[in-house]
């Protein structure tokens, strides 16, 4: 397991939705958010409640617009339109030109706990443009 320099806890991150149509995101998913669920394995499992929400970022760029602590997990809600614009930039710099289908993009959620301990975790989303 590879952790970036200074990261003490590897987080498990699940991003929803897993597939995003950049040409018409509301056609595939009607929620105004991209949701990232963060959890930790033992022995750090209980530390989810210690996440400092103000430090959480998606790909070191996008802060969440809403955060929740639910059932031992931390949920960060990122504005759908901001994430879609960001993903368009990523696929453009990767050399893709529309139309394209199911391009894998790894997104990373980073942040710190209240004591300053850093965490990081990634998940892959698949983007298309028709």
**CA distance linking residue 24 with residue 69, whole number of Å:** 30
| Dihedral, 42, 105, 37, 32 alpha carbons, nearest 10 | 180
**CA distance linking residue 49 with residue 33, whole number of Å:** 22
**CA distance linking residue 118 with residue 6, whole number of Å:** 7
What residue ranges define each of the domains in the chain, with the CATH number in brackets?
7-129 (2.60.40)
List pLDDT tens digits, range 79-91. 988 999 999 999 9
| Range of lowest pLDDT (20-29, 76-85, 121-130) | 20-29
Supply the pTM of this predicted model: 0.86
pLDDT tier for residue 121 given thresholds of 50, 70 and 90: very high
Highest mean pLDDT among 26-30, 38-42, 101-105: 101-105
**CA distance linking residue 117 with residue 112, whole number of Å:** 5
């Amino acid at each position: 397991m590879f952790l970036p320099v200074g990261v003490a806890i590897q987080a498990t991150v699940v991003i929803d939705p897993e597939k995003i149509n950049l040409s018409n995101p509301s056609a595939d998913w009607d929620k105004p958010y991209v949701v990232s669920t963060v959890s930790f394995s033992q022995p750090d499992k209980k530390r989810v409640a210690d996440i400092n929400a103000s430090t959480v970022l998606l790909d070191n760029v996008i802060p969440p617009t809403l955060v929740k602590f639910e059932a031992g997990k931390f949920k960060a809600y990122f504005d759908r339109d901001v994430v879609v614009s960001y993903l368009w930039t990523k696929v453009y710099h990767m050399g893709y030109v529309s139309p394209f289908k199911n391009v894998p993009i790894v997104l990373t959620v980073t942040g710190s706990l209240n004591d300053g301990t850093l965490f990081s975790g990634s998940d892959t989303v698949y983007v298309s443009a028709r």
